[in-house]
Structure 1
Amino acid sequence: DVLVATDDERIKTAVQRFGGQVVMMTEPYRTGTDRVAAVADSRTGDCFVDLQGDEILLHPDLITDLVEPFLASEATMGTLKRQIDSDQDLHNPGVVKVTTDREGYALYFSRAPIPLVRDDPKRAAVPGLHFIHLGLYIYTRETLQRLTALPTGTLEEAEKLEQLRALENGMRIRVWETTHGSLRIDSPEDVPGALKQLHSRATGLGITHS
């Protein structure tokens, strides 16, 4: 099932307009992960995918790139990364970066440019070294339940990144690489640019829009 979990009546109306399923959330939740866990409590299923409303997917293969390797692995929580292609993104705190170990598990997520190349005075993005984190996740039911039972972590609170709660508590996050991108909406100022890109993509696919 595909569900939209929201506490906003405007979003509910918009989703119902195209025939989507909506779950209205009446309680406040710390993060999107906690909200997904609350929905999962009333649903069947072993795994749950979290697509966050402020992370607009630009290609449906992003979901495939996440789900297929997860189901073929022993991971209990997974997410995606892609190579940074601009120095601006590397230094933008609104763009989350991720570093991984040799097995593809996350070492850390940060709004800061990680890793910092000490001997490069220009602090430029390096292909194969610097990666953007894409904010979509997949979890097993057990991992979701464990995460939501944990208190907000010190690093999570500092960076305002919910996935750090898992790392702070020794939970491993598998990170797979994708070549597809997404649009982040972090402020009202981001909306016009995002709409322009979405309209351009829709036109390229032959989709009419108003």
Structure 2
Amino acid sequence: MKFLAIIPARYASTRFPGKPLAVLGGKPVIRRVYEQVTDAMDDAVVATDDERIFEAVRAFGGRVEMTSPNHRSGTDRCREAFDRICAREGASYDVVVNVQGDEPFIQRSQLEAVKRCFDRPGTDIATLVKPFTEADGLAALENPNSPKVVLDRESNALYFSRSVIPYLRGVPREEWLSKHTFYKHIGLYAFRAEVLRAVTALPQSVLELAESLEQLRWLENGYKIGVGISDVETIGIDTPEDLARAEEFLARIDRR
């Protein structure tokens, strides 16, 4: 199978405007994401709606597509970039991998775990999770900004929620992490090419609107989401404070 990674990158982030161009260890964040991804994929491209990001990617020799500023999600931006590439180059890709532009520490092992989901013929979409650990603590588990996932026996997603799922009846809440494996969703998605085109044409669904999680739209419409499991800890960058933590994380890596 041939895999294309598309990295959506917006400038107008509410919590951290311009974060793709924020400097991390001497390089823009978007460059670090791009370099992490190109090692594991057949091709990679940044999809942006901002001329500053476009020029920054070209400056370090990366591939980049200019897209509309009106997309409601990174998935929609990926769809436009994918269509542009196919129309211009006639390229044939089996799977499109949506890698968030604020994940500069995404690892090859994580990307490979998502790719392996497509070894199962029934997989339409794939994503990634990491088990919560007792060291993470109850506050991390209950954080609504960190969606949780429950899986079936074949590691397909049953449901995503901002609430803690499953609820452990009869178990004190402070013991939950020691009694059950809860999975934290990592926002990495991969789509069979025809599925990407189909899901971006679907209207928003009831569950999606309730939880503000677009992957629920796909489940509600019957798509099978395979799940790769990773134990690798990464740091996504949503705020300037995250960038400071990422600098510390990078320094620890460099000292190893």
TM-score interval, smaller chain: 0.7 to 0.9
Partner of residue 41, structure 1? 83
Partner of residue 160, structure 1? 212
Change (3 A) 1:117 1:186: farther
Code of the aligned partner of 1:82: K
Code of the aligned partner of 2:139: Q
Q: Which moved more, 1:140-149 or 1:87-96?
A: 87-96
Distance in 2 (alpha carbons) for counterparts of 1:116 and 1:146 = 33
Q: Which moved more, 1:137-146 or 1:85-94?
A: 85-94
1:77 corresponds to 2:125: yes
Partner of residue 231, structure 2? 179
Distance in 1 (alpha carbons) for counterparts of 2:154 and 2:128 = 14
Q: Which moved more, 1:102-111 or 1:57-66?
A: 57-66
Distance in 2 (alpha carbons) for counterparts of 1:139 and 1:27 = 22
Distance in 2 (alpha carbons) for counterparts of 1:63 and 1:97 = 19
Q: Match of 1:34, SS?
A: helix
Partner of residue 50, structure 1? 98
CA apart distance, 1:127: 6.5
Distance in 2 (alpha carbons) for counterparts of 1:7 and 1:14 = 13
1:65 corresponds to 2:113: yes
Partner of residue 208, structure 1? none
Q: Match of 2:72, SS?
A: coil
Q: Match of 1:161, SS?
A: coil
Change (3 A) 1:54 1:112: farther
Q: Match of 1:41, SS?
A: helix
Distance in 2 (alpha carbons) for counterparts of 1:204 and 1:15 = 28
Change (3 A) 1:190 1:81: same
Q: Which moved more, 1:8-17 or 1:174-183?
A: 8-17
> How large is the RMSD of aligned CA atoms in angstroms?
1.9
Q: Which moved more, 1:167-176 or 1:6-15?
A: 6-15
Alignment of 1:1-210 (within 5 A): 1-42=43-84, 43=86, 44=91, 45-67=93-115, 69-74=116-121, 75-85=123-133, 86=136, 87-123=138-174, 124-126=176-178, 129-201=181-253, 203-204=254-255
Code of the aligned partner of 2:230: T
- TM (norm. structure 1) is 0.87
Distance in 2 (alpha carbons) for counterparts of 1:127 and 1:33 = 35
Q: Match of 2:81, SS?
A: helix
CA apart distance, 1:188: 3.7
Distance in 2 (alpha carbons) for counterparts of 1:145 and 1:127 = 40
Matched-pair identity in %: 39
- TM (norm. structure 2) is 0.73
Tell whether the 8 Å contact from 2:129 to 2:183 is kept in structure 1 after alignment.
Answer: yes
- Segments of 5+ residues of structure 1 without an aligned counterpart are 206-210
Distance in 2 (alpha carbons) for counterparts of 1:121 and 1:81 = 25
Code of the aligned partner of 1:72: D
Tell whether the 8 Å contact from 2:68 to 2:77 is kept in structure 1 after alignment.
Answer: no
- Segments of 5+ residues of structure 2 without an aligned counterpart are 1-42
